[in-house]
Structures are given as C-alpha cells and as structure tokens.
Amino acid sequence: MGQHTDLDPAFRSHAPGYWPAEAMTDWHDATWQLKNRVSSLSALEARIHLTDEERAGVLLAGNKLAMSITPHFFNLIDPDDPDCPIRRQVIPRLEEGWDAPEEMADPCGEDSHMPVPGLVHRYPDRVLFLVTDRCASYCRYCTRSRVVSGVGEQHLETQWEAAFKYLEEHTEVRDVLLSGGDPLLFSDAKLEKILSRLRAIPHIQFLRIGSRIPIFLPQRITPELCAMLKKYHPLFISVHTNHPRELTLEVKEALGRLADAGIPLGNQSVLLKGVNDSVEVQKALVHKLLMCRVRPYYLYQCDLIRGSSHLRTSVSKGLEIIEGLRGHTTGYAIPQFVIDGPGGGGKIPLNPNYVVHRDHEKTVLRNYEGEIFEYPEPTRIPSQEIARLKDCATGTTCGK
C-alpha cells in the first residue's frame, strides 16, 4: 500500500493501492471512480478485514445512510488498523444504530428555516441552496444524513423555480452557498446553468460552493471545470478535509487547479474522536492545507446528528486544540472553532479564555504563553488640552 505516517508532510499518490495495476488506465477518469465505488459488504471484505463492529454497521447502513467510497479515498485506509482515521470517517460501525437522547434528525434546524423546499434562509443576507442529495462518498457523521444518499428518513425535493423566484424577490440576499449533497457531482453544463441563473440576479454579490469532491474525487476537478467556474467570480469554494492523510498528491494538484482559476479556497473540518482530536494531527492538517493554498476556515464541533456519539468529542477538546495552535503557528493556519447551535442557532464561535478580567478601566489579557498583559481603555483628552492644541495649530501659543 505504501502508506506513510499520519503526520508525514509529503504529498504522495496511493494508487493503485487495493486495485490492480491495470486499473491505472482509467484511474484518472472521474466516471470510472464513481462506477467503481465500494458500496457493499462483499466489496469491503474483498479488500480489508472488517471488525465485528464494522461488519454489523455495514449491514445496518442501508436503513439510515448509504455506504459509498471512491477508490481514490478507499486507498487511504490502513488495512491493518481498525482505528484508522480514514476508516472511521467512511466505514459504518455498529454504534451508528444507537441514538443518544441529545441527538437530532435535523441538528442545525434547517427544515424550520426553509421558506422554499431546498432553500435554507437562516442568516439575514445569505442562504443555503441544497441542490442535490448525492455525494461521491458518504461521511458517517453527515449533518444531512436524513436526506442524503437516498436511504434517509426524508427526501430532498428542491423546488428550483420557486427557489429562484424567492431569491429574485428577496433583495437582502447577497450570498448564496450551494451545497447538498455535493454540487460538484453535477456535470459542468448543469452546474453552469445554476451558477448563471444565480449570477443574473443583480443583488446576489457572490457565490459559494461547499464540496468534498476535491478530496473524495480529485479527478473531477478538470481544467474544463475550472475554466467554467472562473466565469462566475466572485466565487468561493469551501472544501472539507479532516485529516492530513487525505491531502494526497492528486488532491494537491486538484486544489491547485482551482486556486489557479482565482477561486479562494477555505477548509471546513469536523472535530472527530479518533480522527483529528489532537493538536499534533490538527497542526499537520492545517500546515498541509496552506501548502495547497487552502485557508483553514472552520473547525466544527460535531453536530448532534443521530448515531454520532462514538465520533463526538467534548467541547473542551476543541478549545484545547485551538489553544495548542494559537501562538505556536501562523495565524493563517488557525481555524475558527464553532458550534452550530443545536436546533437552528447558527454558527457560534468559541475561543480559549484569553480575557482574564475586564472593567471600565482596562482589560487584562493572557497570551499563548500564559503571560499577563493589561490593555487600558481609551483616555479622554482633557478639554484644556484640546484648547491648547487649537492655540498651537493657529499659532497663538504652543506651551505645555
């Protein structure tokens, strides 16, 4: 397999990995990758030895969230490590079948902020446009597991014309985020049809796409796709990477093509137990992201999605990680740690407690080394000083 250590900064290809050498003829074809996804128990067991928990999880997966893993991403799995951070993200486990009392089908409250099916309007000036329910691979902690993959408890029924009409009428909307599912699964022509329709609405200032395609299926990021996207600037793309092993040579090249097309790239990670819940792994991840010209943007506390308790960490773990990054690496590498307020509160930022004390005279601060500093509140300039400065300016007098 040629696996390298989790924290190795090198960018490497893992192909052909679990596939025969002949597969390399079609390896760079995104359509071949999608057709050869691992989506059954037999396909899994033909390649790796599953634990009892994984096998049971696969048997139950069809009742909740389908399993599907592209060959590219599957090659990152360590066959000998049941705790492999890649395995934990995409291979179902028995624990998914248990719902903790605090968990929800719709943890972000999207359905209650949906004026039109498929369009979520929670924030004043921006909307989330759910354009598909399909992904190249399915993350086991998916916030929208209720609607994606075709086997959830709901079905995504986006009303396209009603959504466009809503956007045309609501002039306060200046920012549209395309998500789903994964919009970059669409053909270039279908995606361009959506982008051009949105760009024709005068008050929509910029567009965003949320996608894990560059990570799961870098073969999809073709020069032709990038040339098309370039026509719709300002356009931003948020990618989703959780572990440094995911940043392969192919992924780096795909992200480079997007960056060369002038598309600002940000990364959104989810804090996951046994995947990236350490300062060391997070530091390796954010450093590799910067080498790919991707700015670490958000680190999410895992949403309260049903069946996710085995993947969720404590909030204090996220704060510990931010504290371990702040001051110990460049500010460009530090994401904002956030919790999506359960039930629909939106993103709430969290930071370590750097403010020790605050009153009307000063703020007492702690830096990353634990040293204490005082920052005084602004001193009001005395009226006699204002008069003196006026006299000085007019040349009358200029004494102290």
Catalytic member of 18, 55, 64, 142: 142
- Cα torsion for 266, 236, 178, 273, to the nearest 10°? 0
User: Is 166 among the residues known to form the active site?
Assistant: no
Q: H-helix or E-strand containing 176?
A: strand 175-179
User: Is 108 among the residues known to form the active site?
Assistant: no
Catalytic member of 6, 106, 277, 340: 340
Distances 286 to 276, 289, 319, 335, 382 between C-alpha atoms, Å: 11, 5, 16, 8, 49
| DSSP codes of every residue in 260-317 | HTT--EEEEEEE-TTTT-SHHHHHHHHHHHHHTT-EEEEEEEPP-BTT-TTT---HHH
Report strand pairing: 295-301 vs 265-271: parallel
With beta carbons less than 8 A apart as the criterion, state whether 183 and 191 touch.
Answer: yes
- Binding residue positions: 135, 139, 142
Q: How far apart are alpha carbons 387 and 400 in whole angstroms?
A: 11
DSSP code for 254: H
- Binding residue positions for [4Fe-4S] cluster: 135, 139, 142
Residue 301 CA, distance from chain mean position: 11
Catalytic member of 88, 144, 220, 245: 144
User: Is 347 among the residues known to form the active site?
Assistant: yes
Catalytic member of 135, 226, 292, 302: 135
- The C-alpha angle with vertex 26 and arms to 13 and 54, in degrees rounded to 5, equals 65
Q: How far apart are alpha carbons 318 and 270 in whole angstroms?
A: 10
Catalytic member of 139, 226, 292, 302: 139
Catalytic member of 37, 64, 87, 122: 122
Catalytic member of 35, 81, 83, 123: 123
User: Is 139 among the residues known to form the active site?
Assistant: yes
User: Is 135 among the residues known to form the active site?
Assistant: yes
Catalytic member of 347, 354, 366, 388: 347
User: Which residue in 356, 336, 338, 358 sits closest to 347, CA to CA?
Assistant: 338
Q: How far apart are alpha carbons 88 and 81 in whole angstroms?
A: 10
- One-letter amino acid for residue 185 of the chain: L
Q: H-helix or E-strand containing 365?
A: strand 362-366
User: Is 303 among the residues known to form the active site?
Assistant: yes
User: Is 55 among the residues known to form the active site?
Assistant: no
Rounded to 10 deg, the angle between the 279-291 and 315-325 helix axes is 60
Q: How far apart are alpha carbons 107 and 112 in whole angstroms?
A: 11
Half-sphere exposure of residue 297: CA atoms within 13 angstroms, side-chain side: 16
Residues labelled as active-site residues = 122-123, 126, 135, 139, 142, 144, 303, 340, 347
